[in-house]
Chains A and B, each alone.
Chain A
Amino acid sequence: MTAAATRVLFDEPGPRGRARIRIFTVIGLLLVAGIVALALYQFYRNGQLGRSRWLAFAEPAYLRFLADGIRGTIIATALAAVLSFPLGVVLALGRLSRNALLRRVSTWYIELFRSIPLLLLIYAFLLALPRYGINLPILWKLVVPIVLVNVAVLAEIFRAGILAVDRGQSEAAAALGLREGTAMRSVILPQAIRLVIPTLVTQLVALLKDSTLGYVVSYPELMKQAQNLTVYTHLLVQTYLIVAAIYVVVNLLLSRFAVWLERRLGSRTSSRAARGQAAEPEGVPQTMA
């Protein structure tokens, strides 16, 4: 990827160009080293590099605290995924339905929930709805809004998958005398879902990020546990850096897994791509926030 883009913008360098690249490489390395050194110095000057301030996290009690947080994060993310994936399929089918009313309602739902902030919805479940007698347990005050919002995103993903299945498939199903519902269930959907599996894995990253809002509803997932920990230890920057690193590593692994899946599943359908039909989407786009 990088190599291709480099070739778009720059020619293969000649001897003088290569010399210049070498010089700038050295300068670049020095700059990076300088910035890292400056950051470390800033930590040192404020006494944040002390051994005790980092070794504290080797203590079993602290580790258990963070591990509890990770468990909470996994529970919230998994629940949200298990609930929103099937609902996303249903909503996608609603949007593709022949029934105009169903189609319109699904479209409105998708537009609406893709355009309001998750946090606003969580505040509504946390602060407003209990007054009207809707008082969910804390975990669900986090999971239900996440599901409501993500179903809209997932519906669009599934819809794209369904539309990407070769038309010949539904025509063949019709020629075999399958009813529309049966054709969708046993011919189109299985292929559509396989097409979008990598995107679904990327969506897990989004769900995992959303679960950090447990911080707001005081559900003990990683972010909230980290905050609870800092109340006792006052090791703010250390705790949050460690937590950030955990999130980055987990999400990075998930993203890599999605790319790997993409390549693997892509090769299985490559015969079709070779015939010039239904070009596979390149890479797995990651949505923001």
Chain B
Amino acid sequence: MRVVTDNLGFLLGGLLVTLELTVLGFVGALLLGTVLAVFRVSPIAPLRWVGAVYVEVLRNMPLLTLLILVVFGLPDVGITFSLFTSAAVCMAAFAAAFVCEAVRGGINTVPVGQAEAARSLGFTFTQSLRYVILPPAFRTMVQPLVNIFIGVVLGSSLASAVGVSELTNRTQVLNLQSAEAVVLFLVSGAIYLVIALLGGAAGGALERRVSGGRAR
């Protein structure tokens, strides 16, 4: 246990980087993914193609490949970000493909008749989105989005393979210096477990809340 208490600051710093990557990646993915979902359902064909190609490419590319391509490949074409920025961009870009499909799946579950009814009642586009389409769509989106969040938490560990000094990376560094290897891995594993479980619990609460709205 000494190795953990002695290096608590170092490990917590790593946790902070992991959390930063997770939050930036997830929020970025929510924004980009929603835009892509709008692209994919828009009546404008080129936008639909862009959305479809983006989703198919990013969803089928391993995250590590994307990270390595961005971190080691892009400098070759004169595009250089800091290591952390590159990792955060990769997380967001990767998860956005999954967010897009979750959002699109949610919108697809809304019966066409409801949207048509809203429009014939004179709702504007934003009004029908806000009051008719999004509430039920959001209910079906919560669970996939929670899974994506946990995927981002776990995926952020891959940033350590390209040298970002986050939790997994620092665990591995400390492990090389100390003899109590197993304790380190247990502690880090427990931290990830807690983050994932908290994320899952928050998602569950959110889901109960949004579906509770329907019951009332």
Using a CB–CB cutoff of 8 Å, the interface residues on chain A facing chain B are: 1-2, 4-11, 13, 17, 21, 24-25, 28-29, 31-32, 42-43, 45-46, 48, 111-112, 114-121, 123-124, 127-129, 131-132, 205, 208-210, 212-213, 215-216, 223, 227, 230, 236-237, 240-241, 243-244, 247-248, 251-252, 255, 283, 285-289
In the bound complex, how far is the Cα of B112 from the Cα of A10, in angstroms? 10
Do residues A21 and B193 form an inter-chain contact, with CB atoms below 8 A?
no
Determine which of B40, B61, B175 lies in contact with A244 in the assembled complex, contact meaning CB atoms within 8 Å: B61
Given contacts A2-B41, A8-B41, A8-B110, contact A116 B73 (CB under 8 A): no
Q: Which of B48, B161, B192 contacts A115 (CB 8 A)?
A: B192
Contact B64 A223 (CB under 8 A): yes
- Given the known A-B contacts A21-B44, A42-B78, A240-B68, are A115 and B197 also in contact in the complex, defined by CB atoms under 8 Å? yes
Give the 8 A-B residue pairs with the shortest CB-CB distance, closest first.
A288-B151, A28-B46, A128-B181, A117-B157, A251-B60, A115-B196, A5-B41, A209-B62
Whether A43 touches B189, Cβ cut-off 8 Å, given contacts A5-B41, A28-B46, A123-B168, is no
Query: A127–B63 contact, CB under 8 A?
Result: no
- Residues on A with C-beta less than 8 A from B185 are 120, 123-124, 128
Query: Interface residues of A: mostly helix, strand, loop or mixed?
Result: helix
Q: Which residues of B contact A5 (CB under 8 A)?
A: 40-41, 104, 107-108
Within 8 A of A (CB), among B107-166: 107-108, 110, 112, 115-116, 119, 125, 129, 133, 144, 147-148, 150-158, 160-161
Contact A248 B68 (CB under 8 A): no
Q: List 28 A-B contacts (CB under 8 A).
A: A2-B40, A4-B108, A5-B107, A9-B41, A10-B43, A11-B116, A13-B43, A17-B43, A21-B43, A32-B50, A117-B158, A119-B161, A120-B192, A123-B172, A124-B185, A127-B181, A129-B181, A216-B161, A223-B64, A237-B69, A237-B74, A240-B72, A244-B61, A251-B60, A287-B151, A288-B95, A288-B98, A289-B155
- How many contacts A-B (CB < 8 Å)? 202
Say yes or no for B215: interface residue by CB 8 A criterion.
no
Please give, as numbers and ranges, the residues of chain A lying within 8 Å of B188 by CB-CB distance.
120
Total count of chain B residues near the partner, CB < 8 A:
78
Query: Contacting B161 at CB < 8 Å: which of A215, A252, A287?
Result: A215
- Which residues on A sit within 8 Å (CB–CB) of B147? 287-288
Query: Are A24 and B44 also in contact (CB < 8 A) when A48-B76, A119-B158, A223-B64 are?
Result: yes
Q: Tell me how far the C-beta of A137 lies from the nearest C-beta in chain B, rounded to whole angstroms.
A: 20
The answer on a CB contact under 8 Å between A115 and B68 is: no
Task: Please determine whether B171 and A123 come into contact, CB atoms closer than 8 angstroms.
Answer: yes
CA–CA, A250 to B108, complex, Å? 28
- Given the interface pairs A1-B108, A288-B147, the reply to whether A6 lies near B77 with Cβ below 8 Å is no
Q: How far is B180's CA from A132's CA once the two chains are assembled, in angstroms?
A: 10
Cβ contact of B73, chosen from A7, A123, A241, cutoff 8 A: A241
Query: Would A215 and B68 count as touching, CB distance under 8 A?
Result: yes
A287 to B65, CA, bound (A): 17
- Given the complex of chains A and B, what is the CA–CA distance between A209 and B97 in angstroms? 15
Question: Does A115 lie within 8 Å of B148, measured CB to CB?
Answer: no
Q: Which listed residue (A32, A127, A213) contacts B172, Cβ 8 A? A: A127
Interface contact A240-B175, CB-CB below 8 Å = no
> Could you tell me if A43 and B77 are in contact, using CB atoms closer than 8 angstroms?
yes
**Which of B44, B69, B76, B184 is in CB contact (< 8 Å) with A46?**
B76
Shortest C-beta distance, B12 to chain A (Å), equals 17
Select the residue from A8, A131, A215, A236 with max chain B CB neighbours within 10 A: A8
**Chain A residue nearest in CB terms to B196:** A115
Of the residues A128, A209, A230, A236, contact of B63 by C-beta under 8 Å:
A209
Shortest Cβ distance from residue A95 to the other chain B in the assembled complex, whole angstroms: 17
**Chain B, Cβ-Cβ closest to A253:** B60
